[in-house]
Amino acid sequence: MRFPDTLLINQTCFDKILLVKVFVNDQILFGTLLLLFFCQSAHAIQGHEALNAEDLLISYTERSKLALSSDHHMSINVFRDGHILIALPEAMRGGGYYRTILDREKMERLWKLMTEESILTFDAQHLREMLTSERRSLKESRAVVTSVSDKAEILIEFYPNRCKQTVLAGESNDVMRRIAWTDLRWDAEQYAHIEIIQMLSEIQRALLSILDRDDLQSVHPSYIQENTLF
């Protein structure tokens, strides 16, 4: 039995329409999967959750006085939930942006150093006068006094009242302490008998030791910028 030509034409048109629909649906599915992939990738790159500036506990910045650019510095930010954000200059080995998390024990050890009475009441002017007197005594005794040409400037800013217990009574949660010093490493070697210098050096070593961790995760610069921390 022979089908009419009109039936054959209708069947052909139907097949073409079906093929087009399948193609369009496949394109939509592919586009959806591609969009999900990029969204997940961006989420992973940006370091998952956003961090609040109000949760910042410690900010450590170090810059060489010989640096040609003002942005040629290293920064380490510590948050009260243990999150760490790190920015290393491109010229530095491993330069880039990283994040990690300190466990509770390491956080408590670091915070104990930061809230020592001598750190909370740090007086830079008094310490400079003490070191000037030390150097004068060394010269008078004809001892060899060395100096360094590449002096690193450090800045430590921290918020004593943002942790669980209030450290500075009568102060707000946003009260900040700031410690600025030049060439702490050299001073720590030269003045082993000055306790406050050694305490600052211990804090510096504790913060810089974070850079040697094996669990540092690289993050996109936009993650740092979104958190407006550096």
Query: Tens digit of pLDDT for each residue in 54-104?
Result: 899 999 999 987 655 556 789 999 999 999 999 998 877 788 999 999 999
**Beta carbons of 109 and 198 less than 8 angstroms apart:** no
**pTM for this model (two decimals):** 0.73
pLDDT in tens, 184-200: 999 999 899 999 999 99
Q: Is 168 exposed, middle or buried (0-12, 13-18, 19+ CB in 10 A)?
A: middle
Higher-pLDDT residue of 140 and 169 is: 169
pLDDT on residue 140: 72
| pLDDT (tens digit per residue) in 90-142 | 877 788 999 999 999 999 999 999 999 999 999 999 999 999 998 888 777 76
Confidence at residue 46, expressed as pLDDT on a 0 to 100 scale: 45
CA dist list (Å): 83 to 42, 110, 140: 20, 13, 49
Q: Which residues of 68-91 are buried (b: 16+ CB within 10 A; e: fewer)?
A: eeeeebbbbbbbbeebbbbbbbee
Among the ranges given (20-24, 146-150, 204-208), the one the predictor scored with the smallest mean pLDDT: 20-24
CA dihedral 127, 166, 59, 124 (to 10 degrees): -10
How many whole angstroms separate alpha carbon 222 and alpha carbon 117? 38
What pLDDT shows up at residue 135?
A: 84
pLDDT at 69: 56
9-18, 62-71, 121-130, 163-172: segment of lowest average pLDDT: 9-18
Q: What is the mean pLDDT of residues 145-174?
A: 81
Q: Residue 99 in 3-state DSSP?
A: strand
